[in-house]
Structure 1
């Protein structure tokens, strides 16, 4: 449904915009009906005839007037919120007296003009007003304060909900900022180490050095494509890792063999971008680089219940005694903590048969692309 404003511009009236007024009208109508039925049944129980039209006019005029007054009471409530009890009393005591008085006069005028005196022992509106004023005015005052209390309760609930939403948004923004900072730390660190490896081959083996530069170009392209992504599918992370391993294969030649064992039900799992590369780099630099004989590197992924399990194994020289946690592992631990809190774990251990093992566990969830979200 559409309507035109004063300038002739069509304004679409959506069902959502009509829902709240319809609910309010239904609420006050139900109250008026319940009071009408109660008044009629009360008359019948006392042996008197039930005057249904008069009861309907009285109750519907009463509660529909309050429905129209709710926005005014809500506005007064908002203007006194958070300003102390003195302002609250100074505004609402005279407001309740005046609004209740206006409501009583209008309500009784509508009823008198519509239904007249009926069987009441009065013949003028003034006499009718004096007869009913004390009871009706007392009820109007009471209803003003009940409406005000309900409105302030709903407003407080809304403010609390909005505050929780703002806090959640701020926490999310902080977490994303921390993740980006940690991810940016990895890029120059990784690039510096790779350039060092190329530099070492530049004079000794220029052909291999050029091959490493070509592989580095491919790797940087993949990295730049995902520069804004905090999480990527595991398949994308493995694509970047394979490119990195091709560079290292040029460096290690026949001294390095790699095995990637990825379960098919994990390839679409969401993982932090560049989560595996620093772990593999640590295995190569600290475990396999100084090993005189050929070494093996293994990357494993499995889904274990509601968790994703990632493992990086090497059969290198192993962890030296008292070795401190380096940038790569510390960065990985920090990123998983920001994303998953206590639900994530990072375990670094010496293997009994020699070498090092790093195990990551964190909640499993499918990666959702922006176009599918």
Structure 2
């Protein structure tokens, strides 16, 4: 059996034990006061009994006081309206406690009810009034704590929803950007090689279908990400023919590592666009993954581009790198990052570092061809 105080349930034995401790403490205080003042000293049981009558009465009234505090709270800033309701309530409940105490005392004392009532009013009314306001203050403090916890939970929920919305917006920005560039490449190829353009459209259809299957999630396995990337690279190899080659170096213990979905495609797109997309000659796009402690490191290299000096080098190349940096910050905070570096003798590498954790994937997940 439990006693309900506000939104908190307390076991009946614990509740009675708490008020018994209060009664014993005040009973002992009365006994010591009479001893010090050299008054007539009653038996120890008499002091405990008188104190128990007083405090067990408040034990019975405490749940009611809590309900009154919930119904008529005093909210910050201090409202006279709430105080105006609690003042008469405190006086009324305290007077009721005096009446109950007097009624119970008549069972044990030879004097009548009226004499006992005046005794309780004279001896315990002020203490009773303070007890009411102490119980009221406890309930107010509990209400403030519950409201604070509720607001923190709501703030946490809204923050999570906001972060999810930001991530979804960042992710959605890539779709029309990538689609526009790919369709432009297909349109360019139509006049030169209709069959290759048709093959590219089929690959684009497969890529979009595969991407939409993973559209709701923010993270997928590196294995799945590389499969999506291979579809995209197939389109680009059709476009640039023998000018573009690709190599993938995958550490087997990284394949189940979680990465943001479609994180590599804009990086590879930048590598191609700033490489053979602007320069004559051929290029090789290399993707490498490895574990370094608790981090997953992914490098995307191309051999036919250069890194400009100044702010442009630090901020990345266009929407792809800036979008990637924002997504990593939203998902992992300072635990992840992306940067561009020159490589010898020529080329640029984009280095991704993110915290390693594995993600579940179906047993029939496609294999990745590693070089």
TM-score category of the 2 structures, normalised to the smaller one: 0.7 to 0.9
In 2, Cα distance between the equivalents of 1:100 and 1:234? 70
Confirm or deny: 8 A CA contact 1:61 1:107 kept in the other structure.
no
**From 61, 66, 83, the counterpart of 1:71:** 66
- Pairwise CA distance, 1:76: 4.2
What pairs up with 1:161-172 in 2 under 5 angstroms?
A: 161-172=149-160
Match of 1:156 among 144, 147, 150: 144
Quickly say closer, same or farther: Cα 1:91–1:303, change in 2 above 3 A: farther
TM-score in terms of structure 2 length: 0.82
CA displacement 1:213-254 (0-9 Å, x = unmatched): 211111010111122222222222112111111111222333
Alignment of 1:1-373 (within 5 A): 22-23=9-10, 25-38=12-25, 48-50=43-45, 54=49, 58=53, 61-78=56-73, 80-82=74-76, 84-112=78-106, 115-117=107-109, 122-320=110-308, 323=312, 325-367=317-359
Bigger shift: residues 290-299 or 38-47: 38-47
Q: Deviations along 1:121-179, whole A, 9 cap, x unmatched?
A: x4211111212322221221111111111111111122122222222222222222222
State the shift of 1:53 in Å: 9.0
Aligned equivalents of 1:304, 1:55: Cα separation in 2:
73
What secondary structure, in the 3-state scheme, does the structure 1 residue paired with 2:262 have?
Answer: coil
CA distance in 1, matches of 2:205, 2:148: 51
Q: Whole-Å Cα distance in 1 between the matches of residues 354 and 173 of structure 2?
A: 22
The root-mean-square deviation of aligned C-alpha atoms, in Å, is 3.1
Q: How far does the alpha carbon of each residue in 1:275-295 deviate from its partner, in whole angstroms, 9 at most, with x for none?
A: 110000111121133554432
> Aligned equivalents of 2:326 and 2:169: distance in 1?
11
- Aligned residues of 1:31 and 1:63 also touching (Cα < 8 A): no
Q: CA deviation at 1:110?
A: 3.2
CA apart distance, 1:99: 1.2
Alignment size in residue pairs: 347
CA distance in 2, matches of 1:290, 1:258: 18
Structure 2 CA distance, aligned partners of 1:314 and 1:226? 28
- Alpha-carbon shift at residue 193 of structure 1 (Å): 1.2
CA distance in 2, matches of 1:333, 1:38: 64
- SS of match in other structure, 1:210: helix
Q: Is the 8 A contact 2:98 2:125 kept in 1?
A: yes
Partner of 2:339, secondary structure, is strand
Partner deviation per Cα, 1:19-57 (whole Å, 9 max, x = no partner)? x76516344312222135447767699783525994696
Q: Deviations over 1:326-368 (max 9, x none)?
A: 1111111122222233333221122232111111223333336
3-state SS of paired residue (2:16)? helix
CA distance in 2, matches of 1:336, 1:348: 15
| Cα distance in 2, alignment partners of residues 123 and 320 from structure 1 | 101
C-alpha displacement of 1:272: 1.8
The 8 Å contact of residues 36 and 52 in structure 1, kept in 2 or not, is answered as no
Residue 136 of structure 1 aligns to a residue whose secondary structure is helix
